[in-house]
Each structure stands twice: as structure tokens, then as C-alpha cells.
């Protein structure tokens, strides 16, 4: 009986998802970061809870529950509105936070700002992919040649 419980416990743990991906707003020191955490609560469920951990140390460290979505289909855009205002967007759902005072706004103001990157599942792991930003006139310069 004990062996069966050990095998079942191992099977239950292997199917669960629990990982994070981070965007470092300060260039990588870790003092100012936005981290997305994806966790599958039950091995039989395909849904995962997604939460944001925002930090700007030592003034701000906060965890905010965002939503539930399929564990293999997490894709959330990160936008910057400047002045430590960040918007996260998944389809029609949007959340806006500010890391200066460690606040989540009740309503999203504006369009969210400039796309910084996307949190998404790559293979089986949650990753952050930075947006490829082109200089403003890059297309105009190429067309003029």
C-alpha cells in the first residue's frame, strides 16, 4: 500500500506546473522587476492561476492575483506607460499597476503604453520575450533608398 501511495504522489507532482518568468526594469539587478507566476493547483486540471509579483526594492514588493487560464496557453503582454506604470494584457483582460507606490489601479487608464514584451509558454516553460523595437524612421530610410 505504501508503494502505491509513493507512486501516485510522484505522478501527481510531475503533472503540475509551477514556474515564473521576469522582466527586469532596472537592467537586471533584480531591484525593480515584474515577475509572472504560473501555478497549476491540481494535476487533473488544465487551468493555472496566474499572478504578478511586482518589486521595486526596498519600497515595493507585492503579489497580485490576475486570472486563471489554460496552463499551456499563458500569453500576457507587458506595456510601459512610463513613470513606473505598467499594463498587462491578455486578450480583452487588462491590469494596470504602478511600482512607485506598489499599487494596482482599479481601472486601466489609456492604451497601456509601449509594448515591452510578452510573457508566454515556450515548450513547457514560462518565459519573457522582449519586444523587438525598431527606430522611428527605419522604414522611411529603407524606402527612400
Region of poorest pLDDT, from 6-10, 67-71, 72-76, 121-125: 6-10
- Starting at the edge strand found earlier in the chain, the sheet holding 93-98 runs 103-105, 93-98, 85-90, 75-82, 114-122, 125-130
The pLDDT > 90 percentage for the chain reads 66
The tens digit of pLDDT for each residue in 36-71 reads 999 998 888 889 999 999 999 999 999 999 999 998
Q: Would you state the pLDDT for residue 60?
A: 95
Rounded-to-integer distance, Cα 93 and Cα 136, Å? 29
Instruction: Return the domain boundaries, the chain.
Output: 16-132
Q: What was the pLDDT predicted at 11?
A: 47
Range 91-106 average pLDDT: 95
How far is residue 100's CA from residue 55's CA, in Å, rounded to a whole number? 9
Exposed (0-12), middle (13-18) or buried (19+): which is 87, by Cβ within 10 Å? buried
Amino acid at each position: 500500500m505504501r508503494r502505491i501511495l509513493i507512486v501516485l504522489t510522484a505522478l501527481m507532482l510531475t503533472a503540475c506546473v509551477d514556474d515564473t518568468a521576469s522582466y527586469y526594469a532596472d537592467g537586471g539587478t533584480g531591484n525593480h522587476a515584474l515577475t509572472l507566476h504560473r501555478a497549476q493547483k491540481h494535476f487533473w486540471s488544465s487551468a493555472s492561476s496566474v499572478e504578478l509579483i511586482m518589486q521595486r526594492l526596498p519600497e515595493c514588493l507585492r503579489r497580485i492575483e490576475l486570472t486563471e487560464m489554460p496552463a499551456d496557453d499563458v500569453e500576457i503582454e507587458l506595456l510601459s506607460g512610463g513613470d513606473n506604470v505598467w499594463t498587462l494584457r491578455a486578450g480583452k483582460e487588462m491590469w494596470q499597476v504602478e511600482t512607485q507606490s506598489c499599487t494596482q489601479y482599479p481601472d486601466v487608464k489609456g492604451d497601456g503604453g509601449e509594448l515591452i514584451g510578452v510573457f508566454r509558454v515556450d515548450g513547457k516553460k514560462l518565459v519573457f520575450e522582449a519586444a523587438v523595437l525598431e527606430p522611428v524612421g527605419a522604414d522611411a530610410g529603407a524606402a527612400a533608398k
